[in-house]
Structure 1
Amino acid sequence: MNTLSRQIVLDTETTGLEPSRGHRIIEIGCVELVDRRLTGNDFHQYLQPDREIDAAAVEVHGITNEFLADKPRFEDVVQDFMDYVQGAELIIHNAPFDVGFIDAELERVGGWNRLDSYCRITDTLVMARNKHPGQRNSLDALCGRYDIDNSQRQKHGALLDAEILAEVYLAMTGGQSVLFQEEQGGDEGHGQGQAIRRLAADRGSLRVVRATDQEVLEHQRFLQEMGDSLWMKQT
């Protein structure tokens, strides 16, 4: 029996850069991939951090303390979040940052182990650096390299960034995620969920069109006019 491959593409937004200095998660965004197809089973939650957000962080993501005033705290959603990610492979860009914050939140709540005790973690920044050494490998740079539309990314947002990262990951690990589009409707925005069309086993033979004698003579005359060509040496 085949086991479905379940991956969760995850991103967070925070009050600042250092969990060791008491900075907190204020947004978690996740999208689910099963066998490299987006399922629509997302997890998205804003969180009340119980501390001021750094002004520099607000410039990046645009989330304010006023907006978060009525949002739940991490301890209120930790069970739902862990149930959602448990057993999956987490796909994260610059994983030590997000994982460090999540581990700090889990330690603060108590009763939980580190995140990597429940999930396998893949860092797409490490993957990108190995695949494109010496080049810029930010999420925006990868969008440009793989021709992925990130025009809606005026500010960082956890769910939007997770959706974009999912497309980057699929492009980086498999080239084209879909070879042929289905005629029927589907999740065309992400190019997922369509089956590959296969030729029928009882199809007729393809017709072979051969060059006429006149066309062969014209081709040989053309090659002679080219002079001492590599092609003439092979014939």
Structure 2
Amino acid sequence: MREIVFDTETTGFDPKTGDRMVEIGCVELVNRLPTGKTLQLYFNPERAMPPGAFAVHGLSDTFLAQKPLFRDQVEEILEFLEDSPLVAHNAGFDMGFLNAELALCERDAIDLGRMIDTVEMARKRHPGGQNSLDGLCKRYGIDRSHRVKHGALLDAELLAQVYIELTGGRQMGLSLAAEAARTAEAAPARIVRSTRPYRAPRPHAASAAELQRHEAFIKAMDNPIWSR
């Protein structure tokens, strides 16, 4: 099963008020494992970057002015996404911006039925817990020390690890067991030599005298159960 974990960076909170997407980062999963295939694209938003948004992701007007427009890269994005389920943290936000940009390109919106929201998953699994991306990384022991500022690809890579944990983890025990079996199969057989002294086997059959005593004992029994 192929899934795409993705994140976006934007100029603000609401595309309906003119905010635009400035970065998208995508990570491909197949059967809940990263394949190593990713996509990261920056866009010129055709508007100034508000100071509050710049403080979050650090993408400046100067940096973004040299980047292509979203419409110039839309085919590459759709080709990467294909028809796979789309996993995002607070997915309504990211899907809202993605569909707003597609609308500006006069392209069809992505069906929200493909959306998987890890915030909702985390709330169900950890009621009352810290379900931000940072909080979930801390809960699952995922290293986020390199996350100085938000970045779409970086956050998508962290979220992919969180999503794997939310859906049952990697089942590392199976992999370790398989590796152990391969190692054992490849290892040369060992010959174990005993250091204990040899002792001849003892006879276990009854002697003639013992058989005679047993027969006499049986005959002396008064009304045994097997003769009734």
Instruction: Show structure 1 runs of 5+ residues with no match.
Output: 183-194, 205-235
Once residues 106 and 145 of structure 1 are traced to their aligned partners in structure 2, the CA distance between those partners, rounded to angstroms, is: 35
Aligned match for 2:164, one of 162, 170, 184: 170
Deviation at 1:199, TM superposition (A): 4.1
* Partner deviation per Cα, 1:81-122 (whole Å, 9 max, x = no partner): 011102111110000100000111011110x221127x7110
1:25 deviates by 0.4
Percent of residue pairs identical? 48
The match for 1:9 is: 5
Q: In structure 2, what residue type is equivalent to 1:29?
A: G
The alignment's TM-score, normalised by the length of structure 1, stands at 0.74
Corresponding position of 1:115: 110
Distance in 2 (CA, whole Å) between partners of 1:86 and 1:66 is 32
Any idea what SS the aligned residue of 1:33 has? strand
Deviation per CA, 1:25-80: give whole Å up to 9, x if none.
Answer: 00000010111221111111011000011110110101101001110100000011
Give the C-alpha shift of residue 197 in structure 1: 3.5
Q: What TM-score do you get using the length of structure 2 for normalisation?
A: 0.76
- Unmatched tracts of structure 2, length 5 or more: 190-228
Task: Please name the residue that 2:179 is paired with.
Answer: 197
Contact 1:92 1:122 in 2 (8 A): yes
Higher helix share: 2
Shift of 1:178: 2.5
Secondary structure, aligned partner of 1:39 = strand
Partners of 1:66 and 1:170 in 2: how far apart?
Answer: 37
What residue identity is the alignment partner of 2:172?
V
Aligned ranges 1:1-235 → 2 under 5 Å: 5-110=1-106, 112-116=107-111, 120-179=114-173, 196-197=178-179, 199=181
The answer to whether the 8 A contact 2:134-2:144 is kept is: yes
Partner of 1:148, secondary structure, is: coil
Larger radius of gyration: 2
Give the RMSD, CA atoms, in angstroms: 2.2
Q: Which amino acid in structure 1 is aligned with residue 50 of structure 2? A: D
Structure 1 moving runs of 4+ over 4 Å = none
User: How many residues are treated as equivalent by the alignment?
Assistant: 185
Aligned residue identity for 1:75: R
